[in-house]
Every structure is written in structure tokens, then in C-alpha cells.
Amino acid sequence: MSDFNLDLSSAEEHLDEEELAGNVVLGVLNGETDPQTWIETIENGNVLFLAVEGDLNELATGFAREIKDMGGQLMHFRKFLVVTPPGVDIDTDRL
């Protein structure tokens, strides 16, 4: 077996210095929050993870189309709605 030399201390120099911004914001989608709040959260580069309490189609009407139009994604997973800003994909390969 040949020797394998891995220098992890210098590996960081070769990584892309892509700066990530934003947070994962937890919330409840029940109609009590102004849809504009969810839109602004996504515009600021955050990801929403919302527990759905009620009819998803009715509750998301005020913001879903605008988020999709700006390039964001929405995914209903179990009892949650995951909403991402443009450039953040939702990977469903393991579902």
C-alpha cells in the first residue's frame, strides 16, 4: 500500500471563500403572521422552517407565489413547510 500524505492545514487555502449569510428561522404557519414578514425573511437570505397548523394552501397564499417568482423554493415535508431563498436548493434525493 502506498503512502498517502494529506495536509489538512493547507487544504483550507484551496477552498472557495464563499461567505454564507442568513439563518434558519423556525416558526408556525397558522395565519397569525403577516405574509410580508415571511417574504422579508426570505429576501434577507434566511431559510424558513414552519410548522403548519391548518390548510397549507390557504395559509401560504399570501407569500408562496412571490417567493417562487423571486427564485426561492417551497417544500411541504411531513407537517412542515421549508422555504428557501434564491440560490439555496432543497435536496430531496433521500426522500
What confidence score (pLDDT) does residue 9 get?
65
User: pLDDT tier at 13 (50, 70, 90 boundaries)?
Assistant: low
Residue 87 is assigned to a structural domain of this protein: no
Residue 13 is assigned to a structural domain of this protein: no
Average pLDDT over residues 7-25: 70
- Cα separation of 36 and 57, whole Å? 16
CATH (domain of 62): 3.30.110.150
CA distance to 5, 6, 71, per residue, from 2 (Å): 10, 13, 48
Question: Coil, helix or strand for 24?
Answer: strand
Question: What is the C-alpha R_g of the chain?
Answer: 18
Residue 8 is assigned to a structural domain of this protein: no
Which amino acid appears at position 67 of this protein?
I
Average pLDDT over residues 49-73: 98
Enclosing domain of residue 58: 22-82
Residue 75 is assigned to a structural domain of this protein: yes
Strands 24-29 and 47-52: parallel
What confidence score (pLDDT) does residue 19 get?
66
Give the number of domains in the chain.
1
Average pLDDT over residues 64-73: 98
The single residue listed with the C-alpha cell 431559510 is 47
User: pLDDT tier at 21 (50, 70, 90 boundaries)?
Assistant: confident
Angle at 22 between CA 90 and CA 8, to 5 degrees: 80
